Amino acid sequence: MKTIGNLAKLGVEPVFSAIREALAGTAPQFVPRETGQIISVSTGIASVSGLNGVGSEELLAFPGGAFGIAFNVDETEIGVVLLGDYAHLRAGDEVERTGCVIDVGVGDGVLGRVIDPLGRPLDGKGAVLTASRLPIERPAAAIMDRAPVVEPLQTGLKVIDALIPIGRGQRELILGDRRTGKTAIALDTILNQRGKDVVCVYCAIGQRASAIAKLIDELRENGAMDYSVVVVAEGNDPPGLTYIAPYAATSIAEHFMEAGRDVLIVYDDLTQHARAYRELSLLLRRPPGREAFPGDIFYIHSRLLERSTHLRDGLGGGSLTALPIIETEAQDIAAYIPTNLISITDGQIYLSPSLFELGVLPAVDVGRSVSRVGGKAQRASFRAVAGDLKLAYAQFEELETFARFGARLDEETRTTIEHGKRIRACLKQNELSPVPVAEQVAILLALSEGLLDHVPVEKMGEAQSALGRAAATMPGELQARLESANKLDDADRAAIIAMARKAVQSLASANSGAA
């Protein structure tokens, strides 16, 4: 008291008065905490007791900054799926409820970044700055909030844009055996969105770190990271991170969709996602079903893919287009997971190992591929030039198989086979080289009009290059009309045919002279 009196003489009495007033109006705040303890820790999961009020899929906090999701809520213990590194956890450690579900940061701050499913940066560029957060599990848009798929999503791949078109808001499955070019199709589609105001989200699920690094380098080299987000769950990550990866990526994409933007999301691949969920379910002692998958394996994918849609104009008119990827074994598209996803999605693109071995790239099997929605969104100019192409190609494949028996062929059959060979050559395309709409229309129109039937098959590449150079010189108004929803009128059609005939004239005449 004597010291305080001395300080008061020095003129600090107002300070003490302020402190006394602040303390007088302050009451201690008690925040309730519900804690439990770890019973056991296994590969990717933990058993916890003492959390009687925990909710299903609630986020739990573990020592050392680790987190987990309450999956099995039983009477005596909780089965928890662990997220991130859990090697330091031991039985007896304290576990605390957070009272919330797992969420992820969303907003423009994630564009150009490589993050994990928890939103943590993996690219060494510092913290990811986001304006808001969204739960990774969200209900899909209601039926009355959806609009029809009317706008095409151009992939830049002739075989897809012409024969298996994809619309904005559609879910198109890509499936095939290992190393048949599934990721290459998704990558080309992302690269083709440059300058089209489409946000792209690539979700790598259980992939090799080297493969992911290569894909990110290709995105950067081609300037695609400016409008893309890469969400990564590596193959050596805990199964819990692999499981939540596509849901977190979808919430990031939904933020842009709800802001009125068009978004493309690629899930590469859902086979690994299903296996991670199977692993977690078996470790948590859930009853196994067919192929040891749990009974709700269909539900985890349907609730994910139903979030992809086209919103009505009253909600901004944004769209979320999904390209889920599935790996088949020995070309068995009737296996459990592939058939589940075929029934959920709006079509599939099947990649054939046989075509891949023959060098027909992309190795799309047109006969087994279908788009149940995109045809309604396909540009009228595409429909005009590619309407009969799929039928002609199917007839060619059947006749080509028949001709291998050495049967004598009539003139009409030989003509159909030769025309089919040119169709196949035109549908071939190198990786990382998407083709603009005007060039595709020029090539397909020349093909349908028979202008390429006299060009040798080995020179089809030169012919397509010539047509591409000629298409680049089209008037801007004509190119704009080709990319619009308007039909291809007779004048435009005649102009493109004349341009195409001139472009391939030298190649065709050389072949005629040789004949």
Asked, for residue 444, whether it belongs to a domain, the answer is yes
Sign of the CA dihedral running 49, 55, 56, 61:
negative
Per-residue pLDDT, averaged over 242-248, amounts to 97
Out of 31-35, 325-329, 432-436, give the one with best mean pLDDT: 325-329
Compute the distance between CA of residue 278 and CA of residue 284 in angstroms, rounded to an integer. 10
What confidence tens digit (pLDDT) does each residue in 350-361 have? 999 999 999 999
**Considering only 25-34, 305-314, 457-466, which range has the smallest mean pLDDT?**
25-34
- What pLDDT, on the 0 to 100 scale, is given for residue 381? 80
Q: Which structural domain range is residue 507 located in?
A: 383-514
**How does residue 7 score in pLDDT terms, banded at 50, 70 and 90?**
very low
- What pLDDT, on the 0 to 100 scale, is given for residue 146? 97
Neighbouring CB atoms inside 10 A of 44's CB total 23
Residues serving a catalytic function are 372
What confidence tens digit (pLDDT) does each residue in 122-174 have? 999 999 999 899 999 999 999 999 999 999 999 999 999 999 999 999 999 99
pLDDT of residue 10 exceeding 80: no
Among 87, 93, 3, 83, which residue's Cα sits nearest to residue 39? 93
- What pLDDT, on the 0 to 100 scale, is given for residue 178? 93
Residues 367 and 419 reside in one and the same domain: no
**Considering only 245-254, 283-292, 380-389, 448-457, which range has the smallest mean pLDDT?**
380-389
**How does residue 481 score in pLDDT terms, banded at 50, 70 and 90?**
confident
pLDDT of residue 24 exceeding 80: no
Segment holding 209, helix H or strand E? helix 209-221
- The total of structural domains in the chain comes to 2
Q: Please, are residues 96 and 61 in contact by the beta-carbon 8 Å criterion?
A: yes
Q: Are strands 78-83 and 67-73 parallel, antiparallel or unpaired?
A: antiparallel
Compute the distance between CA of residue 59 and CA of residue 126 in angstroms, rounded to an integer. 25
Q: Please, are residues 268 and 186 in contact by the beta-carbon 8 Å criterion?
A: yes
- What pLDDT, on the 0 to 100 scale, is given for residue 125? 93
Sign of the CA dihedral running 109, 123, 182, 294:
negative
- Supply 413's token pair: 């059959």
Sign of the CA dihedral running 310, 311, 317, 323:
negative
Residues 393 and 323 reside in one and the same domain: no
- What pLDDT, on the 0 to 100 scale, is given for residue 33? 84
Residues 296 and 216 reside in one and the same domain: yes
**How does residue 490 score in pLDDT terms, banded at 50, 70 and 90?**
confident
Compute the distance between CA of residue 84 and CA of residue 17 in angstroms, rounded to an integer. 50
Which amino acid, residue 168? R
Percent of the chain with pLDDT over 70: 94
Considering 355, 377, 399, which residue would you say is the last residue of a domain? 377
pTM above 0.75, yes or no: yes
Asked, for residue 446, whether it belongs to a domain, the answer is yes
Considering 344, 377, 410, which residue would you say is the last residue of a domain? 377
Residues 310 and 395 reside in one and the same domain: no
- What pLDDT, on the 0 to 100 scale, is given for residue 513? 43
Residues 481 and 449 reside in one and the same domain: yes
Q: Please, are residues 338 and 350 in contact by the beta-carbon 8 Å criterion?
A: no
Compute the distance between CA of residue 197 and CA of residue 259 in angstroms, rounded to an integer. 13
Compute the distance between CA of residue 352 and CA of residue 357 in angstroms, rounded to an integer. 9
Residues 290 and 152 reside in one and the same domain: yes
- What pLDDT, on the 0 to 100 scale, is given for residue 1? 47
Please tell me which residue, 369 or 481, carries the higher pLDDT value. Answer: 369
- What pLDDT, on the 0 to 100 scale, is given for residue 161? 93
Mean pLDDT, the chain, integer = 90
**How does residue 16 score in pLDDT terms, banded at 50, 70 and 90?**
low
What confidence tens digit (pLDDT) does each residue in 394-427 have? 888 888 877 777 667 788 888 888 999 999 999 9
- What pLDDT, on the 0 to 100 scale, is given for residue 5? 53
What confidence tens digit (pLDDT) does each residue in 75-95 have? 889 999 999 889 999 999 999
Per-residue pLDDT, averaged over 220-225, amounts to 96
| Strands ordered across the beta sheet of 114-115 | 114-115, 228-234, 198-207, 262-268, 319-327, 173-176, 347-351, 370-371
Asked, for residue 373, whether it belongs to a domain, the answer is yes
Percent of the chain with pLDDT over 90: 72
pLDDT of residue 514 exceeding 70: no
Give me the helices (H) in 60-181, please.
158-163
Q: Please, are residues 375 and 147 in contact by the beta-carbon 8 Å criterion?
A: no
Segment holding 400, helix H or strand E? helix 389-403
Residue that is written with structure tokens 């088949």 in the block = 328
* CATH at residue 476: 1.20.150.20
Q: Please, are residues 452 and 504 in contact by the beta-carbon 8 Å criterion?
A: yes
Residues 405 and 349 reside in one and the same domain: no
Considering 328, 351, 377, which residue would you say is the last residue of a domain? 377
- What pLDDT, on the 0 to 100 scale, is given for residue 478? 85
- What pLDDT, on the 0 to 100 scale, is given for residue 207? 93
**How does residue 222 score in pLDDT terms, banded at 50, 70 and 90?**
very high
Per-residue pLDDT, averaged over 276-291, amounts to 94
Task: Give every CB contact of residue 459 below 8 A, 6+ residues apart in sequence.
Answer: 507, 511
